[in-house]
Structure 1
Amino acid sequence: MLRLFVFLATILVVRGQSTAVNRSNVFPGELPLNVHIEGCVTPPCRLPQLQDALLNIVFRAPRTMQSMSTLATAFLGILVVPYPLGQNAITCNFLQNSFCPILEGEVLIYKLKMYIAPTFPVGTQATVEFRVVDQNNSAFICIRVPILIVPAIGGSFGSRNSTAIASEH
């Protein structure tokens, strides 16, 4: 009973914050129950350069899984660019209400961070697809969202220090 209450409360809170995303037309996978990209309701989502974009994703596990990874791909016109997420690609490390292994039917809350690197100059418009795959590299969630890279917001909120940036590149 408590689990049902937590599930319903989570859905009610998150449904109040949704970003209009689409299903991928390139990669397999279904839309999650809800996606909220912080600071964005209607795309294109304006993502500040040199900071983390934060995606809150709620989904139901379609099967039992030992592990999960998140992959990102940017579409820049005819250019298709895999976008490395580094440690943020380890989906299980960023589940807010559970941990791996995951049981079929579990409703999961996942917080994904994607650092907006300087390789995406201010003014860049792209479409980004995020997909979550299981240990067999089989995608089960995929979302597509247009973005626009904007200048960094003042202060250090959500940004990385230069040591972290240097260690990833």
Structure 2
Amino acid sequence: MSSSIDDVHMDIDLADSEKPEEELESLLEKSANIHAVDTLNETKIPKKTSRTLSTNKEKVQMKNNKSNSHEKREQAETYADMKAQLRREREDERLQELKGKADDATAEYNHQKTKIESRQTRENLKLKAKESRIQKKKDLDNLHEKERSRRLQQQIDALQKKLKNDADEKIKSQSKNI
């Protein structure tokens, strides 16, 4: 039984700095009850009284166990709440970190996309300029070809006219000679 008294005294020593006055008074009462029960158990008491004291002792122990289990349950709930809060904070930090990485990746993607689009635009403009130059050259070549064909046609027409005139003159001159 002395171990339970030691436990109560140890609880009182620990409680000096941690627990409010009401809890200290409760612990002192428990200590006094246990000490009184121990003292009575050591003396010769008739069986009926001994049984009553034993029942009282059991009641005190049950009361102590209930309050201890209640405190332990509260401590466990507090610990679980703190642990859950810490987990939520870590999850929030991780989420913020992931959001930051996602934002960075999105910014890099958009930068690369813009870079590629501008490169494609420049290449398309160069290609259109080249196609335009080729088309202008074709148009110019066609124009020169048409001009050359027109001149050749004029020369052919002029030669035909001259040949016809020459032939007409020859025919006239031969007709005159006849």
Q: TM-score range, shorter-chain basis?
A: under 0.3
Decide which structure has greater helix share. 2
The TM-score with structure 2 as length reference comes to 0.17
Which structure carries more relative contact order (alpha carbon 8 Å, separation 6+)? 1
Bigger CA radius of gyration = 2
Decide which structure has greater strand share. 1
